[in-house]
Amino acid sequence: MMAKASLLQRASGATLAGLSRAVTGVRPIWAGVAPSGRQRIYFANHASHGDFILVSTCLRPAERSRTAAVAGSDYWNAGPARRFIAGRLLRTVLVERNWVERTADPLQVMLAALDAGESLIFFPEGTRNMTEEPLLRFRSGLYNLAFARPDVELVPCWIENMSRVLPKGAVLPVPLLCRVVFGAPVALGEGEDRKVFLDRARQALLSLAPEKDGTRR
Amino acid sequence: MSDDTTRLFLGLVAVLATASAVAGVLTWRSPQPLPSTLENLNARIKAWWIMVAGISLAFLFGKGGVILLFAFVSFAALREYVTLTNTRHADRWTLLGMFLVVIPVQYYLIWIDWYGLYSIFIPVYCFLAMPALTALRGDTSRFLERVSEQQWGLMLSVYCISHVPALVTLPIPGNEGRGLLLIAFLIATVQGSDVLQYIFGKLFGRRKVAPNISPSKTWEGLIGGIASASLMGAGLYWLTPFSPLEAGTLAGLACIMGFFGGLVASAIKRDRGVKDWGHLIEGHGGMLDRADSLVFAAPVFFHIVRYAWT
């Protein structure tokens, strides 16, 4: 279903990467994993619309053009402008978050993208985190993906500072330095319980965050 | 392009070429893998080539080029500074204003040479507007701390740094059209002093100046570096309207201020638990790691020259 990145998508991907570098000077920190051509699910903390741009900026162009962000269709299908951005400019896999009215199973949509060779940027909290907590509880999506496609690497990515650059509702970004810390992949154990796995994945992501007092690695 | 500019440029290229040659020989003779000091030295020299190229390019465009260059330096420095501060959601408009209004206005005022306003725009008007704006937003949590942190950021990253390009506007009798060379003199002595302090410190450094703040700053490095940089400043008097003695004295003063700038920057970094301000300049760290000495030296140098020579 996902075709190769169109010329427009490559161009807008490169433009966005340039813009996000100009504003945030974003740097990838490869801590425990190296860039590679393997199919991956990058799972990250989520507090800003800029999050997936930051992660894709940190990837090499070849990786970027085969990596799509999983986003909520309720937001990105609301209005023609958003639909154009999500559908034509960016590489997104839109999933329906509304349990009651949904027409397509989100898991099937994501698996179809994986089967087409895509890598995914995935936010396992399910929504943007607006609380003081550093990371919300993970929803089941990550477990379901790991269970269904065990050979896809699950790479935790801690996004630092983006929520200060572009918080919810903001249009203009405040220029601040951002980093994305890529940690060692997490794999689903043989017969591992869903909740145990989700907690373990959450801890793996949380361990990449800077200390409470702001000390960075 | 005057003869002096060409001479300065060729001199800089010669110094960098020598540094590269020495580092090349050291690298060639060193066992693999390279020790980290040598690797850092190589990165630093490479970054110096890029910085000298950037500054030379700005100089080609004259006053406008230098103002744009330092507006960018301010932007990069302020971004590094604000990243390390504790901001709250209510500070958003203040922060946006610092980047989108204060930096352009301050450098525009220098462009139109309005000394009366650019010397008070930040310390009077911005310093009053910022707490007012923050109070209007209604979030009083850590109010004083939040406001003063950002005020101090503007002071360091914008106000002080903007005094480097402001040197070009000083109407020094007999120095017409040579304002850029005065800037080159200040940058060369202050940055030269940083390099010389590093070299003297590595060679002879034993007694630490402030062990709690910076393990790399030693009395031997400080005295050797500032003394040699002052001599270098005296030797560069032909760039300036000063006599050799005056040039050496002003260079020494700028270097001492530069030392304090580096010390204060180290104290801030230590408090925030970071080693470098950022990663903009490979081998050096962030923009503020390279510009911290200039931050303290520029306004003092500017005002002494303005008082005594205009």
pLDDT in tens, A46-97: 999 889 999 999 999 889 989 999 988 888 888 888 888 887 788 888 888 7
Q: Check residue A88 and give its pLDDT.
A: 78
A175 contact B CB<8A: yes
Per-residue model confidence (pLDDT) at position A96: 84
pLDDT at residue A100 tops 90: no
- The C-alpha atoms of residue A48 and residue A26 are separated, in whole angstroms, by 15
3-class SS letters over chain B:
CCHHHHHHHHHHHHHHHHHHHHHHHHHHHCCCCCCHHHHHHHHHHHHHHHHHHHHHHHHHCHHHHHHHHHHHHHHHHHHHHHHCCCCCHHHHHHHHHHHHHHHHHHHHHHHCCCHHHHCCHHHHHHHHHHHHHHHHHCCCCCHHHHHHHHHHHHHHHHHHHHHHHHHHHCCCCCCCCCHHHHHHHHHHHHHHHHHHHHHHHHHHCCCECCCCCCCCCEHHHHHHHHHHHHHHHHHCHHHCCCCHHHHHHHHHHHHHHHHHHHHHHHHHHHHHCCCCCCCCECCCECHHHHHHHHHHHHHHHHHHHHHHHC
Q: Sort out which chain A residues have CB atoms less than 8 A from B158's CB and list them.
A: none
Contact residues for B281 (Cβ-Cβ < 8 A; gap 6+):
B47, B51, B287, B289, B290
Residue A8 has pLDDT above 80, yes or no: yes
Q: Which of B25, B10, B16 is nearest to B195 (CA)?
A: B16
| CB atoms B280 and A164 under 8 Å | no
- CB–CB of A27 and B279 under 8 A? yes
Q: Where are the alpha helices (DSSP H) in A25-91?
A: 51-57, 61-64, 73-76, 80-84
Q: Tell me which of B216 and A147 has the higher pLDDT.
A: A147
List of chain A residues whose C-beta atoms are within 8 Å of the C-beta of residue B92: 167, 170, 174
Quick check: A214 contacting B, CB < 8 Å?
yes
**pLDDT band for position A41 (50/70/90)?**
very high
Q: Is A216 on the interface with B (CB under 8 A)?
A: yes
Task: Decide if A130 touches B, using CB distance below 8 A.
Answer: no
Rounded Cα distance, A161 and B262, in Å: 26
The answer to whether residue A1 scores a pLDDT higher than 50 is: no
Buried/exposed B54-74: b ≥16 CB within 10 Å, e otherwise: ebbebbeeebebbbebbbebb
> How many CB pairs (< 8 A) connect A and B?
38
User: Strand, coil or helix: what is A84?
Assistant: helix
Q: Is A131 near chain B, with CB under 8 Å?
A: no
The pLDDT score that the predictor gives to residue A217 is: 45
Residue-range domain boundaries for chain A: 25-206
Name the one residue in this structure whose structure tokens are 């993906």: A145
Question: Residue A92, class by beta-carbon neighbours within 10 Å (0-12 exposed, 13-18 middle, 19+ buried)?
Answer: buried
What pLDDT does residue A80 have? Answer: 86
Q: Any idea which residue has 């393990």 for tokens?
A: B215
Instruction: For residue A173, give the chain B residue with the closest CA.
Output: B96
Option in B86, B87, B280 nearest A25 (CB): B280
| Neighboring chain A residues of B274 at a CB cutoff of 8 Å | 215-216
Query: pLDDT averaged over chain A?
Result: 89
Residues in A touching B96 (Cβ below 8 Å) = 172, 174
- Provide the shortest C-alpha distance from residue B222 to chain A (in Å): 29
* Residue ranges of chain B whose pLDDT lies below 50: none
Averaged over A134-151, what is the pLDDT?
A: 94
Give A127's pLDDT tier (boundaries 50, 70, 90): confident
Asked whether B211 and B193 are in contact (CB, 8 A), the reply is no
Name which of A29, A174, A179, A180 to mutate to probe chain B: the one with the most chain B Cβ atoms within 10 A of its Cβ: A174
The whole-angstrom separation of Cα A108 and Cα A104 is 8
CA atoms within 13 A on the CB side of B103: 26
Closest alpha carbon to B84 in B289, B222, B261: B289
Closest CB from A175, A177, A215 relative to B99: A175
What's the pLDDT at B233? 96
The whole-number pLDDT of residue B169 equals 93
Residue A184 structure tokens: 């060692």
Average pLDDT over residues A16-44: 93
Name residues 85-124 of chain A within 8 A of B (Cβ). none
Q: In terms of CA atoms, which chain B residue is nearest residue A174?
A: B96
| Helix-strand-coil split of chain A, %, nearest 5 | 35, 15, 45
Distance from CA of A55 to the nearest CA of B (A): 18
* The pLDDT of residue A154: 96
Quick check: B287 and B278 in contact, CB under 8 A? yes
CB contact under 8 A, A25 and B99: no
Q: What is the model's pLDDT at position A99? A: 67
Nearest to A45 by CA among A147, A142, A144, A143: A142
- What chain B residue is nearest to A168 in terms of C-alpha separation? B89
Which A residues in the span 26-55 are in contact with B, Cβ-Cβ below 8 Å?
27
Query: Could you say which of A164, A174, A214 has the minimum Cβ distance to residue B272?
Result: A214
On chain A, the residues whose CB falls within 8 A of the CB of B86 are 214
CB contact under 8 A, B83 and A170: no
Inter-chain touch A25–B279, beta carbons under 8 Å: yes
Q: Chain B residues with CB inside 8 Å of A216's CB?
A: 273-274
| Distance separating alpha carbons of residues A151 and B201, to the nearest angstrom | 53
3 state SS of A15: helix
Mutate to test the interface with B, among A165, A177, A216, A217 (most CBs of B within 10 A): A177
Kindly list the residues from chain A whose CB atom is less than 8 angstroms away from the CB atom of residue B82.
Answer: 174-176
